[in-house]
Structure formats: structure tokens, C-alpha cells
Chain A
Amino acid sequence: EAQVTQNPRYLITVTGKKLTVTCSQNMNHEYMSWYRQDPGLGLRQIYYSMNVEVTDKGDVPEGYKVSRKEKRNFPLILESPSPNQTSLYFCASSRRGLTGSNQPQHFGDGTRLSIL
């Protein structure tokens, strides 16, 4: 089954304790991305990756890191989490179309982070 898998699904932690949210896709997609969803703000992009070893900032990258060492994995790292990073996080992936056009992104089911 084609899917994007995020772990953990839920996490409550404390300020300053480093954490990593993993994201893995089994569709051999080149493109992967992280979003956060906050009430009244919709989905905002944090970081994205066009392919292995190629990453770039989205709209709200502050306080986050990512890496893309393998095509299937795109972990989101919070080195020193703060309460304003309490949010619902989504990972997404898509493939490059035959004509180079973008393809719809497939989303994971989300990770709810609470930073106390």
C-alpha cells in the first residue's frame, strides 16, 4: 500500500529536549515536505526537499532542521523545542511528472506535538 508514515503520532515533551519526527514514504517520490497546521492559519510549509541531499526552507523554518540522506526518509528535527512549536505536523511527498509538472502531494496522517 502506497503511504507516507509519520512517527510518533502523538508526543508530549518539555522545552529544550531535542526530538525527531520521522517520515518515510514507499512510493519512490523525489519530493518531500513538512507542514505545520495551526488553528486559523491552515497549513504552512516548514522545509522541503527536491531529492536526496537537496533541502530548502519553506515559509516557517525557524527552529527546525531536516535532512534527506535517503530518498524514502525525511526526518524533522527540533533541536531545542519551544511551546510555540506545539502544533500538528504533516509530512508529504510527491513524484515528478513525466513532463516535469507537479503531481499531487500525498500526506501522512500527522503528528501532534505538545511542548510544555
Chain B
Amino acid sequence: DQQVKQNSPSLSVQEGRISILNCDYTNSMFDYFLWYKKYPAEGPTFLISISSIKDKNEDGRFTVFLNKSAKHLSLHIVPSQPGDSAVYFCAASAGGAGSYQLTFGKGTKLSVIP
């Protein structure tokens, strides 16, 4: 039973345009969500997170939106740059403060075309 789903294995976007990566979850206990970026031959690196008490968090070109009623979150990258080409993982945790266990999605490979 996959609790965090990234239904698009890949996404191609033109440089300068918006990239939208989607993530759905089924566990209503999840209360903290993160996005990680992964380049080949490297470990995932933290990108941005959002708590369930918010519906939006922004950091530079990256914005994460959370729709709790739909159990859906999305990562927007504007404008997209070739260096953004990577695999993006959505992750979630439950249990409130002090919970460290993360459940990851399968990842979406983003290709930004110059």
C-alpha cells in the first residue's frame, strides 16, 4: 500500500517556464511534508518543506502548496533552469513533534530543456 504517490515518473519543461510536480498521499496522519532533489551519484538533498498547519511555503524559486482536503501537494519551480534537472522525491511524516520517520514517493524525473 503506497502511502505517498508521485504518479508522474517524468516531466519535461522548457527553460524559463514553470515546473509543477505533484504528490498525493493517503495517510491522514501525515502532518509534515518535504521535497528532496536528487542528482545522479549523489544522495537526496532537502529542498523545501511544509507543515500541515500551512497551505503554502515559498523559498526563492520554489513553492510548495498543500491541499489537505484533497491530500495533495505540489512543488512549483519558477522559472525552471537546466540545473533543476534531477529526480524529485516527495516525502511525508506523521506523529507531530519528534517524528522522524519519512515515507517517500517513487520520485519524478524533471528534465529542463534549454
Residues of A within 8 A of B (CB): 4, 31, 33, 35, 40-45, 48, 50, 58-59, 90, 92, 94, 96, 99-102, 104-110
Q: What is the minimal beta-carbon distance from A83 to any residue of chain B, in angstroms?
A: 22
Taking a contact as CB atoms closer than 8 A, the residue among B6, B32, B43, B91 that contacts A110 in the complex is B43
Contact of A99 among B46, B97, B107 (CB under 8 A): B97
Residues of B near A108 (CB, < 8 A) are: 43
Query: Complex formed: what's the CA distance from A59 to B103 in Å?
Result: 9
- Tell me the dominant secondary structure on chain A's binding face: strand
Contact B106 A4 (CB under 8 A): no
**Distance A114 CA – B49 CA, assembled complex (angstroms):** 33
B: number of interface residues (CB 8 Å): 25
- Please indicate the chain B residues that have their CB under 8 angstroms from the CB of A4 in the complex: 43
Q: What are 22 of the A-B contact pairs (CB < 8 Å)?
A: A4-B43, A31-B100, A35-B104, A42-B89, A42-B104, A42-B107, A43-B89, A43-B104, A45-B103, A58-B101, A90-B43, A90-B44, A92-B43, A96-B98, A102-B32, A102-B97, A104-B49, A106-B46, A107-B36, A107-B43, A109-B41, A109-B43
Q: A104–B34 contact, CB under 8 A?
A: yes
> Assuming the A-B contacts A42-B89, A45-B101, A50-B100, are A105 and B41 also in contact, with contact meaning beta carbons closer than 8 angstroms in the complex?
no
B78-114 CB contact bits vs A (8 Å, 1 = yes)?
0000000000010101000111111111110000000
